Amino acid sequence: MSRATASRAINGGQRVSPRAQSAVDTAVRSLGYVPNPAARSLVTRRTDSIAVVVPEPDDRVFSDPFFAGTLRGVNRVLAERDIQLVLLLARPGASTARTLRYLTNRHVDGALVTSHHRDDRLAEHLADIGLPCVFGGRPWTGGDRVAYVDVDNTAGEREATEVLIARGCTRIGTIAGPADMTAAADRLEGWRKAMAMAGLRDDAVVHGDFTEASGETAARELMQRHPDLDGLVVASDLMAVGALRVLAELGRRVPDDIAVVGFDDLGVSERTTPPLTTVRQPVEEMAERATRLLLERVDAADGAHPMRLIIPPTVVRRASA
């Protein structure tokens, strides 16, 4: 048969007779034939791969349950379409430049970016090159040019603070996340809004970097500067783990002496002592929805208008508050 008929049979069987399809299928099995993806991409202009871009150090990516949940959600959707996941760790400096070259050269059909920072300017770069992309979280810049999926961080941290206020706490501090990340800035804003509405002071603030070690360091500094705290709002559960360890060392009973609320609910909060009241952000669901949105943008020939999807958070009450 002709090359065209064989090609149609291998690529879905449109306009191919049952007899020809059977002959091609038999030949494919007997020869062990596998289509050449590089040659196929020249025709389809598709690589059948999607990049997950994470501008973070390697050790953080492989130790934080947030990233594990994100990758599970992304891969679950890509597997439905037989699309390959490509993980790009874009640390500041040469690594970021190499990642941008890779994306600019269209080695993937699209990119999902998570845990981005103010200075990486990835939203602007990806919008400029026209690569379909979706951000996990609101980008600092270029937010009007790219799609993103986020949890309502401001509302979540406001509700977390209101849990402590309703409990009767009047001296509430916070361990905020990195100042160069929108999630951290939005959560800090939520804490300040709740404190202002209750007429409480909002001077007890120390920043961490969403890691357990930084939570421990921040808690020591916060308790040294403000030993009268009776409530603590922490911008991530991992940082809350470090904070709980410091409070135990200082002999501060949780929640009797000081109540604590975290943010994430990715499994860590259930194993702390005491179990941690926290704000749940559905990371796997967010990753799945972001990936489906990205695939829609890859499939849209006319370049779909950027969509923003904001998911409401949920307070999960446990013993720490």
Both tokens of 25, joined, read 């299928």
Q: How many Å apart are CA 165 and CA 47, to the nearest integer?
A: 52
Supply the pLDDT for residue 141: 83
CA neighbor of 267 nearest in space, from 281, 250, 251, 285: 281
pLDDT at 44 over 60: no
State the pLDDT at residue 302: 60
Closest listed residue to residue 138, CA positions, set 127, 153, 128: 153
E runs forming strands in 98-256? 110-114, 133-136, 147-151, 172-176, 205-207, 231-234
pLDDT at 288: 97
Choose among 246, 292, 265, 309: nearest CA to 65: 265
| pLDDT(299) > 80 | yes
| The length of the chain, given as a count of residues | 321
Residues 240, 253: Cα–Cα separation, whole Å? 14
pLDDT band, residue 66 (cuts 50/70/90): very high
Q: List the Cα angle 313/316/318 in 5-degree steps.
A: 160
Could you tell me what percent of the chain has a pLDDT over 90?
75
Dist. CA 217–CA 239, nearest whole Å: 9
Q: What whole-number distance in Å separates Cα of residue 319 and Cα of residue 299?
A: 47
pLDDT at 157 over 90: yes
Sheet with strand 49-54: strands edge to edge: 84-89, 49-54, 110-114, 133-136, 147-151, 308-311
Mean pLDDT of 278-299: 96
Q: What residues contact residue 188 under an 8 Å CB cut-off, 6+ apart?
A: 157, 174, 176, 177, 205, 235
pLDDT at 90: 81
The pLDDT of 279-295, averaged and rounded, is 96
**Side chain identity at 231, as an amino acid letter?**
G
Mean pLDDT along residues 202-211: 97
Give CB contacts under 8 A, 24+ apart, made by 40-49.
Answer: 46/109, 47/106, 47/107, 47/108, 47/109, 48/82, 48/83, 48/84, 48/109, 49/83, 49/84, 49/85, 49/86, 49/107, 49/108, 49/109
How many helices and strands, by DSSP H and E, does the chain display? 12, 12
In this prediction, residue 46 has a pLDDT band, given cuts at 50, 70 and 90, of confident
Q: Which of the pair, 97 or 112, is modelled with greater confidence?
A: 112
Q: Which amino acid is at 128?
A: D
- 37 vs 231, higher pLDDT: 231
Q: How far separated are the first and last CA of the chain, in Å rounded?
A: 73
Question: Which amino acid is it at 33?
Answer: Y
Alpha-carbon distance of 130 to 301, in angstroms, equals: 12
* Count of CB atoms situated within 10 Å of the CB of 128: 12
**pLDDT for the residue 144:** 82
Domains of the chain: 3-35 (no CATH), 49-152+283-311 (3.40.50.2300), 153-280 (3.40.50.2300)
- The pLDDT-based confidence of 34 (bands split at 50, 70, 90) is confident
pTM, full prediction: 0.85
pLDDT of residue 41: 53
Biggest CA-to-CA distance, the chain: 84
> Do 120 and 86 contact (CB within 8 A), yes or no?
no
58 — pLDDT class (breaks 50, 70, 90): confident
Q: Kindly report the average pLDDT of the chain as a whole number.
A: 92
Contacts of 9 (CB under 8 A, 6+ apart): 16, 20, 21, 24, 25
Q: What is the pLDDT of residues 115-147, one digit of tens each?
A: 999 888 889 999 999 999 999 999 988 778 899
pLDDT for the residue 273: 95
Q: Tens digit of pLDDT for each residue in 77-90?
A: 999 999 999 999 98
Position 215 pLDDT exceeds 60: yes
* pLDDT at 42 (0 to 100): 52
